[in-house]
Chain A
Amino acid sequence: AQTVTQSQPEMSVQEAETVTLSCTYDTSESDYYLFWYKQPPSRQMILVIRQEAYKQQNATENRFSVNFQKAAKSFSLKISDSQLGDAAMYFCAYTSGGGADGLTFGKGTHLIIQP
């Protein structure tokens, strides 16, 4: 079974600084997708960024970028120029290429932004 591990239960960063959230995963599949979701206090899950395993290039979305290390099965999220609105729980998630297994989530990292 696939597993996703987020080793940082909580992270704190100063506004405008950069922070990196860690995620490792375990799978025997070769075709899969990785995601970072954000869940603010409203509980609404919002996709931050996605990465296809077959793509070597790291995904970027504005201030958000990932460091995808396929051999190490590592998928970290970097948030640049942190803003107060970035405060939330961040979940790393995995799904196989078929997609029918649903998303496997990590336990989450609570990100605190210090003004």
Chain B
Amino acid sequence: KAGVTQTPRYLIKTRGQQVTLSCSPISGHRSVSWYQQTPGQGLQFLFEYFSETQRNKGNFPGRFSGRQFSNSRSEMNVSTLELGDSALYLCASRETGAHNEQFFGPGTRLTVL
């Protein structure tokens, strides 16, 4: 099976712009989670989607949003970008069940200037 894919891999934006990141999970995986990784805050959970429904959201402002499509592909959107949004955004997919391994994509490196 193909792994988790994320597009684009690198992105440069300026403050105030918005950005959309895409994640395609492993075939058959219905759960998709998003994480933000920064040197200062480490890895932080953004949100999880399952069957097109957001099941939970981490402690992030409303500028961060996401959605999941019927084919389980997911997008996350960040509006009104701030310098502090510069990070590696990781997407992970898994089969149903908390014990199941989350398979991570290679990430999208977002730089906000």
Contacts and interface: CB of A to CB of B under 8 A. Distances in A.
Contacts, number: 58
A30 interface: no
B49 to A, nearest CB: 10
Contacts of B99: 33, 50, 52, 99
Interface in A86-109: 91, 95-108
Given A102-B33, A103-B35, A43 B106 contact: yes
Interface string B1-40: 0000000000000000000000000000001010100000
B75 interface: no
Interface residues of chain A: helix, strand, loop or mixed (majority): loop
Interface residues of A, number: 25
A44 interface: yes
Contacts of B104: 44-46
B106 A44 contact: yes
B106 A105 contact: no
B39 to A, nearest CB: 10
Contacts of A33: 98-99
Given A43-B106, A103-B33, A103-B45, A95 B101 contact: no
B66 to A, nearest CB: 12
Contacts of A98: 98
Contacts of B46: 102
A49 B68 CA distance: 28
Contacts of A50: 99, 101
Interface of A: 33, 35, 42-47, 50, 52, 91, 95-108
26 contacts: A33-B98, A35-B101, A42-B106, A43-B88, A44-B106, A45-B92, A46-B104, A47-B101, A47-B103, A50-B99, A97-B98, A99-B98, A99-B99, A100-B50, A101-B45, A101-B48, A101-B56, A102-B45, A102-B56, A103-B35, A103-B92, A105-B35, A105-B42, A105-B43, A106-B42, A107-B42
What are the 10 tightest A-B residue pairs by CB atom distance, in nearest-first order?
A99-B98, A102-B45, A45-B104, A105-B43, A100-B55, A100-B56, A47-B101, A107-B42, A102-B33, A33-B99
